[in-house]
Chain A
């Protein structure tokens, strides 16, 4: 079965970096890895996506392993507003289906 696995929860202190891991062992060689987050009582919002090399945007960085079986979302300086559930998403290789991780609930301590 296709699987995308993430830790259930992580905790960080404000202003410190956070590394959120994800394993996506069944990803194909040509599909992107996406990260979304869901703030409390809100809909999901896009964070970042990438294919092979590391990616940076104003919100975060994405480090993708060389074999693409895992990735790490990096928040360089966590703020209280970053407290959310972070979802890692990948396509099931050879299919038209997406696989979600169960999400990592990030708590940011002041």
Chain B
């Protein structure tokens, strides 16, 4: 079946502009995760959605970052007033159940470059 998909695959934007990143999880997966990976660095957890529960947003780097998910479908990560330090690969993953019960399947990522 189809895996996790993300769009766009690449995004170049000017400093100060807003960007929206999209993640389509595997159908039937209740949990969805967003991560950031800066060049040459490790994975950084951003936020986790589980079913219809309200997510803990404290992992988002700043108030310019927001994330939404409608039910158990698509999720969007929005970055307002982008800064150069936002340049990174943004990865999305989904799992059948949440809270670490199952393995996460990762999407190919969105490479964001802020000029």
Contacts and interface: CB of A to CB of B under 8 A. Distances in A.
Nearest to B41: A102
Interface residues of A, number: 25
A91 B99 contact: yes
Interface residues of B, number: 24
A43 B5 CA distance: 12
Nearest to B56: A96
A49 B100 contact: yes
Given A36-B104, A44-B106, A98 B45 contact: yes
A95 to B, nearest CB: 6
Nearest to B54: A96
A97 B60 CA distance: 10
Nearest to A46: B103
B28 interface: no
Contacts of A87: 42-43
A97 B59 contact: yes
Give 3 closest A-B pairs by Cβ, nearest first: A32-B100, A96-B56, A46-B103
